[in-house]
Amino acid sequence: MNTRLSKLFQLATIGFLYSASSLSQTTSSYTVSGRVHDELDNDLPGVRVCAISDSSRNANCGISNAAGEFVIRMQEGGRYRLFPEKSQDGYFVQNQPFFRHPSTPITAVVLNESNRNASVSVVIGPKNGLLRGKSLDAVTGLPIENTRFVLCHAANPRICWTASARNPEGEFKLLISHVPFTLRVTAEGYEDWLGLSGSDKDGPISIASGANLELNLYLRRRPEAVGRPLSEAEKQPYVNLPAPVQLSPSDRVELDYYPRHTKLEWQPVEGAASYSVEVDYCDGRVKNRRECLNPQTLPLPEKSPTGIVSNSYEFDFVGAQPGRWRVWAVDKKGQEGFKSPWRTFFYLK
């Protein structure tokens, strides 16, 4: 799968799930109610169950209570497929083919004038496996803050999932597929890591459902990156430019407007030839969340976030959910300065 398309699909999934939970709060003409449970018939509370329309791809969601019961409300009839998700407990979004258990049935309902209220039983299937560890520089041992993972089914390389791990300690934690998969890890300035060993391009990796695999990645620098600081820990005061002072938006600001056109502003840095910015979107599936969980790089196709010669940058944000940004200066030699702290913002609509 084209990695850009995979990233956009992932981004759209997180955004639409948040919007879907908002839609489920409105007055509606059709409902799906029922119970969500595991393979042993245990009630599962706190599960997000989303009904996705076959015709429009619109989604409406509900959260199960202590008895595993949920209600989903929608505005129009049609055929809907029901997908449960509770990522924090190891059950990833089941509408994504990469994560779906091959033997767990998909529940479907048809709503129409003669059947406005359907009652169903939804089984969530086994937990996904977990791949966790650290990404480290093979020479310095320092953590690599930003790594990108491309995982594909070994038997069908077109079924893929792309995600970023953004952590100052280099830590990553990824839920993975129930079937064998291949792994490619990339990071700016480093050679790609393939498979478990780093050089096993197509070697399948198997992690049992609900099991964990610890894996530390020791990435080797590309020749052109040798001697160049690739992390904040390698930068030096008076050699690398200081971090710009951020002006707007302020940290943890709530933005209550739509369209979500956003302008970032910062003070100029003496000696800067240009500036670069990073913008992340955060998990938006829980309404009113005020923290940035699982940050992922926001694709910005309309304008490059590097080589900025002004002290501002404008873009359109993805959804009614948290996001964050930071900025750094680049000198005339092309050396990156220190990066500013992350500032978080929360779009409310």
Q: pLDDT 10s digit of each residue in the chain, 349 long? A: 444 434 434 444 444 444 444 444 445 689 999 999 999 999 999 999 999 998 887 789 999 999 999 999 999 999 999 999 999 899 998 889 999 999 999 999 999 999 999 999 999 999 999 999 999 999 999 999 999 999 999 999 999 999 999 999 999 999 999 999 999 999 999 999 999 999 998 899 999 999 999 999 999 999 999 988 988 989 999 999 999 999 999 999 999 999 999 999 999 999 999 999 999 999 887 777 889 988 988 887 666 799 999 999 999 999 999 999 999 999 999 999 999 999 999 999 9
240, 335 Cβ separation under 8 angstroms: yes
Q: Report whether CATH 3.30.70.20 matches the domain 235-347.
A: no
Q: What is the CATH code for 130-225?
A: 2.60.40.1120
What pTM was computed for the model?
0.80
Q: Where are the domains of the chain?
A: 3-123, 130-225, 235-347
Q: What are phi and psi of 8, to 5 degrees?
A: -65, -35
Which top CATH class is 3-123?
mainly beta
Fold match between 3-123 and 130-225? yes
Candidates 128, 106, 127; CA nearest to 40 is: 127
